Amino acid sequence: MAHDDPILAALVYSTGEGAVMGRLAEAALGLGLDVAGMIQHDERRPDRRRCDMTLVDLGSGRKIPLSEDRGKDTRGCRMDHAALEEAAGLALAALSGETLPDLLVLSKFGKREIEGHGFRQVVERAVELGVPLLVGVTADHVEGFRAFGGGLEQVVETVEAAAALIEDLARTKTARDAA
């Protein structure tokens, strides 16, 4: 995966296993990559049916609550769409500076992105700029991700395969920096 070639990679993960994207972002940082993006953290609440979601900006550490508190017996979507758009704006800002990140990591490419909202514009901008991108996607959204990618996408099924993509990117960066 050469930095000059846009990369649009997705790791398929099971519902409830989104924390893996945070671990991959940490691994990329450990390899010396400049990483930007948003990672979702889920916090279980014993008095609630579903967890509270928070997005964390990898660049600033800023936390954006993503769940609306609609009561303990709430069913259905509790996503605060305005908060999601705010987080997307923050992620987009990471692609607006003079120095671009080596890798953009987003926890999820899901229904909102397939519909053209959420982080969709961020993903599009990263591809336009040639910034390698790794997103998480659940099995029920893989086809929507593939349709969006239009042949530019790569879908990996294991954490090891995603880690290998990151390691390749780090080697490419090291070689480029040494030249």
pLDDT tens per residue across span 33-42:
999 999 987 7
Q: Which of 100, 102, 125, 99 is nearest to 113 (CA)?
A: 125
Which range among 1-5, 76-80, 114-118, 168-172 has the greatest average pLDDT? 168-172
Angle at 16 between CA 114 and CA 84, to 5 degrees: 45
Question: The pTM is what?
Answer: 0.86
pLDDT of residue 84: 84
Confidence of residue 3 (pLDDT cuts 50, 70, 90): very low
Cβ-Cβ contacts under 8 Å for 73 (sequence gap 6 or more): 49
> What are 89's two structure tokens?
């704006």
Rounded Cα–Cα distance for residues 44 and 54 (Å): 11
CATH topology of domain 8-70+77-178: Rossmann fold (3.40.50)
β-partners of residue 52 are 43
Domain residue ranges in the chain: 8-70+77-178
Q: Are 66 and 60 in contact (CB under 8 A)?
A: no
CB atoms within 10 A of CB 97: 10
> Looking at this protein, which amino acid is placed at residue 29?
L
Give per-residue pLDDT as tens, 92-133: 999 998 899 999 999 999 988 999 988 999 999 999 999 999
| Alpha-helical segments (H) within the chain | 19-30, 81-93, 111-114, 120-129, 142-149, 159-178
Chain position carrying tokens 């769409």: 81
User: With the CA atoms of 82, 150, 125 and 118 taken in that order, what torsion angle do they form, in degrees rounded to the nearest 10?
Assistant: 10
> What are 114's two structure tokens?
């397939």
Confidence of residue 144 (pLDDT cuts 50, 70, 90): very high
pLDDT of residue 105: 96
Confidence of residue 24 (pLDDT cuts 50, 70, 90): very high
The answer, yes or no, to whether residue 2 has pLDDT greater than 80, is no
Query: How does DSSP classify residue 21?
Result: H
